[in-house]
Structures are given as structure tokens and as C-alpha cells.
Chains A and B, each alone.
Chain A
Amino acid sequence: GAVVSQHPSRVICKSGTSVKIECRSLDFQATTMFWYRQFPKQSLMLMATSNEGSKATYEQGVEKDKFLINHASLTLSTLTVTSAHPEDSSFYICSARVSSFYGYTFGSGTRLTVV
């Protein structure tokens, strides 16, 4: 089945630094990928929609300059948290729509801790 590989699974960084999270579709081409943020014991909140070869579409309230999304190929989307602060600590999850099907496959998530 369709697999989305997300790395790293855990990352700890210092305040003010930037962190890049990668999301790869391993056995299918993903023209659209989605980035979610999840706080403890809460649901997934859509941050942005990443479209291959074009700019990402951000949800209201999400800072474009802080959460940089790049979808340069049909199998890779990256989320870069710039100038990270402790309040950016969260669980970030990517997902991809399997072509011609409504089903979504999720990555395994990245636990970001900013100290």
C-alpha cells in the first residue's frame, strides 16, 4: 500500500534555530501533501496544503514565514520551522493523498521539542 515516510521522528533544538522535517511518498507520486500540527490529547489541525511545483496554501492563522513549506518533487515535501521557540514544540504530521483516491496516508509524525 501507499507509504509516507516522515523524518526525523524526534528532534530537540535550541530556541532561535531552524528545523527541517521531511515527508516522502515511497511508492506513489503525491502531487498534494498536507501538514498538520497536533497538541497533546487534541485533534489534528491542518496547517497547510503543499502542492508540487507551486506555493503552499496556508490555513488561517498559520505564519507563512515561520513554517516554510517546499514541495519540489512529486515524492518530497519539507516543512521548516524557522527561528523556533518553545511554543512551537508540538507533534507535526504530514499526509499525502493517494492519486485518484480520496484516501489519505499519514506519516509517522515528528515530535519537535524547542528548548
Chain B
Amino acid sequence: GENVEQHPSTLSVQEGDSAVIKCTYSDSASNYFPWYKQELGKGPQLIIDIRSNVGEKKDQRIAVTLNKTAKHFSLHITETQPEDSAVYFCAASKSSNQFYFGTGTSLTVIP
């Protein structure tokens, strides 16, 4: 099956700096890679996703890059704000019923 690894597990950045979270996957057949933000006591919220036919996608301060050859994808948050503090999960999927999460990154943005 698919194995998704996520690094780092914790990340602290100063407000205004950038944050980068990286994930690797093992199954080359995976073709959909979403990123979720989870605040304490709440369910995950989709923040951005990318499909295997695209190398990069950007939405305001958030961007995701995908390297299919190396089987890794990254989340980039620029101009971080305190409200970006949360746990972020990457995931990989190759069908609607196979959805594998990374282990999560706890991001703290220091004002």
C-alpha cells in the first residue's frame, strides 16, 4: 500500500517568514495530493490540492509543488500570520477509496 511520510513534525517560524512542509509517497500510481489544515478540536479543512498532471499550484499565500519523479510534494506558506498556526496534513490518493495521510506538522507562527 501507499506510505506517506511528512516532515518536519513541528515547525516554528516568525510572523512574515515562509514555512515549508514536505511529504514523500511511495506509490507511483497516486495521482491526487491534498493538503489539510486542522485547528485544535476541529476537523481537517482542505486548503489546497494538486493532481499529478500539474507541477505547481498557487492560491494567494499558499502554494504546492509536486515532483512525480522523486515522489515528493511540498506545501509553501508565504508571509505567515499567527492564524496560520495549526496542524497541517498532507495526503496521497489514487482512487476515491484509498486515501493516505501523512503524520502531520504542527506549525507555530510566532508574532
Contacts and interface: CB of A to CB of B under 8 A. Distances in A.
B103 A105 contact: no
Contacts of A41: 104, 106
Interface residues of B, number: 21
B61 interface: no
Contact of B44 (A57, A93, A97): A93
B46 interface: yes
Nearest to A36: B101
A106 B43 contact: yes
A49 interface: yes
Contacts of B101: 43-44
B45 A106 contact: yes
What class of interface size applies to chain A in its complex with B? 20 to 34
B36 A34 contact: no
A108 B32 contact: no
Nearest to B95: A102
Given A32-B96, A42-B103, A103 B49 contact: yes
B41 A102 contact: no
A26 B94 CA distance: 26
Contacts of B89: 43-44
Given A43-B103, A43-B104, A106 B97 contact: no
A9 to B, nearest CB: 8
A58 interface: no
B104 A42 contact: yes
Interface in A1-29: 4, 6
11 contacts: A4-B43, A32-B96, A44-B101, A46-B99, A49-B97, A93-B43, A103-B49, A106-B43, A106-B44, A109-B41, A109-B42
- Which are the 4 A-B pairs with shortest beta-carbon distances? A106-B43, A102-B32, A109-B43, A108-B43
